[in-house]
Amino acid sequence: MIGLGRTSFDTPCRIAVEHSDEFLCAHVELAGDVPIHPGDRVLVHGEAISVGFGESAVFDRTATVTRASAIERLWTKFAGHFEMTELYEVSFSGGSLR
């Protein structure tokens, strides 16, 4: 059945982590500029990463990319439009801020 199967593959990746008073972030870059589409999953292998306050570090690991099926991809795009509307919720009050 076309559109129902998942494929997966392993690829090298680089993880950059920063923990400071300005940033608390982690970024994963897949080798070879592998495109990630809606519904795809990325699992980074290896031990847990711990970076102390005021430090940043870069790690090289392996990641498994599992491609979503065509149906999963369509569902993710469809559901994503409804999830995004939660970001638009705005509240106005009649009082002034003091």
Task: Tell me what the pLDDT averaged over the chain comes to.
Answer: 84
Q: DSSP 3-state helix, strand, coil percentages of the chain (rounded to 5)?
A: 20, 40, 45
**pLDDT tens-digit readout, 69-96:** 988 888 988 888 777 676 666 666 665 5
- State residue 97's pLDDT score: 56
Asked if residue 53 has pLDDT above 80, the reply is yes
* Residue 32 vs residues 8, 13, 88: alpha-carbon distances, Å: 16, 9, 35
- State residue 1's pLDDT score: 46
pTM of the model as a whole: 0.69
Radius of gyration of the chain (CA): 19
